[in-house]
Amino acid sequence: MTNNEVRTKTRDESLVDNVLASPVDQHLARTRRRLAWGLLWLILLAIVVWLVVRFNCDRPVEYADDQEHFKYGSIGSEPGGSVLDAAGGLLPPRDIFAILPQVCPDKLPGGYASLGLIMEPEHRFPIGVSERFRLGIDQVGLNCSVCHATTLRDNPDSERRIILGAPAHGLDLQKFFRFVLNCTLDERFSADNLIGLMERNGTDLGWFDRILYRYFVIPRTREQTLVLSQRLALIMGDDIPEWGPGRVDTFNPYKGVQFNWPLDRLPLSELIAASDFPSLWNQKPRDGMYLHWDGNNNSVDERNLSASLGAGVTPVTIDHPRLERVRDWIWTLPPPAYPYPIDQAKAEHGKELYASRCAECHADARFKDGVVDAKLIGTVEPIEKIGTDRHRLDSYTFDFAANQYTLYPDSKYRFTHFRKTQGYANQPLDGIWLRAPYLHNGSVPTLRALLDPPEDRPARFYRGNDVYDPKNVGFVSDVAKEGDVSYFLYDTSLPGNGNGGHRYGLELAPEDKDAIVEYMKTF
């Protein structure tokens, strides 16, 4: 018997000799087995590497041009963190966000544009929506320009021009969030329906993505939205007056989203704090001034980081370099020049009146060039003196400031400048012609009306129209409807909407008031 034979006993105890494979065969078989195992391991390793790379890859869509970056670039507000503990984000993934108006057509018949979001040709998403591949899928987020870009028409028939850095006068942000939250929690937000609609709209989902969306992305999106909608329920609900277009409640959503305060245990009046979007240009001369309507912060950078939280970033997901690119751009972005004729003689007369009555608090036309000649600009005017609606002021509490100091923990970005004030800040007026309606809550439609006593200012007017009114300086505010577009009726008798206070220049003759307004067109 050679050594490649074995003798085995059969059941009936007889002995059988089996011839085994030769050593060469044995070696070959071993090699084959090893190769097969090796290959299997290699494939597994490749899969693991591919998964790790795919889910750790963080790839924002880049824009070479600063303006394009401002409009569409990412500041990190798309969901991020780790796959297991995703953080941040207010919007569903890109391809779902794109079809959301089709998922719930009854909730948004006019599509995103009907909310005042600005659509440009050649772009899939409105200005203010950024794209980024993160956590293994294409995501979308919001950036600064969603609230800080506007459109303007000379008359109802003329072209809309887009002006970046201006308050988004037409954007109804509350309605936008309501729609996204409601539709994501709608029963039609199901994997079958969404994947079907995505594919019909040209999204080519491979088998892996289909599994990913069905079993992970869609359930997780719903879960996160459920938490978000609970935290924001009161602010998005009907118990408080609507924000309407061009306004946002800056700090109350923060209390719910960032800190998980039970908002139903706060006095309801504290949750009424909608205020106008500010302009974003010409930040350099503002550094060191007290910013936000109530002057609660004197650091432009900290203010930027805080506003980014509102757009959906978290300390973990924020993209500091790309946010700094925006910061650098708005640092010196000039305010837009008034595009209509100015009566120079009248403006000259207005300049004198302005110098004696307004300049101490607001600086003059030279602010746009960085000349700050005003003692009280950027300081807080006590509420008793300014007398404007105090809801916004009261929504920002000392306890809230204390909580803000814990944001961006253990980093050089941690908030340290926020403070509770007792009034509203004296604002610089650069580009003021495009910052209508006026006062912090946008309760006075035009500059000219602001110079009238509160009882003569319009008690009810319409917001959201982007046709300009050069006579009164502001947007047209007496048109309820244009085609099938209805504008938002602003009622100054509602809590938080009061148009009282700021009683300056009221006693002037009408032609003097006109002159001041004419001069302010040059800002």
Footprint on this chain of another protein (rule: CB under 8 A):
81-82, 85, 87-88, 255, 259-263, 265-267, 314-316, 394, 397-403, 405-410, 414-420, 422
Measured in degrees and rounded to the nearest 5, phi and psi for residue 59 equal: -130, 95
> Which 3 state secondary structure label does DSSP give 315?
coil
For another protein, give the closer residue by CB, 234 or 374: 234
Between the alpha carbon of residue 420 and those of residues 5, 394, 397, 423, 441, the distances in Å are 93, 9, 6, 9, 19
Q: Which two tokens stand for residue 344?
A: 């120079």
> Which 3 state secondary structure label does DSSP give 367?
helix
Residues in the chain: 523
For another protein, give the closer residue by CB, 240 or 450: 240
Exposure pattern of 166-184 as b/e (b: 16+ CB <10 Å)?
A: bbbbbbbbbbbbbbbbbbb
Where does 299-342 have alpha helices with state H?
300-311, 320-332
Q: Which two tokens stand for residue 30?
A: 């071993």
Where does 154-190 have alpha helices with state H?
173-184
Please state the three-class secondary structure of 446-491 as a single string.
EHHHHCCCHHHCCCEEEECCCEEECCCCEECCCCCEECCEECEEEE
Measured in degrees and rounded to the nearest 5, phi and psi for residue 179 equal: -65, -50
Work out how close the CB of 107 gets to another protein at its nearest, in angstroms, rounded to a whole number. Answer: 29
For another protein, give the closer residue by CB, 314 or 499: 314
Separation of alpha carbons 201 and 195, rounded Å: 10
Separation of alpha carbons 154 and 136, rounded Å: 45
- Contact in structure between 258 and 400 (CB atoms under 8 Å): no
Separation of alpha carbons 87 and 299, rounded Å: 26
Largest CA distance in the chain: 128
Work out how close the CB of 141 gets to another protein at its nearest, in angstroms, rounded to a whole number. Answer: 16
- Contact in structure between 275 and 440 (CB atoms under 8 Å): yes
Separation of alpha carbons 247 and 171, rounded Å: 8
Q: Which two tokens stand for residue 272?
A: 């009424």
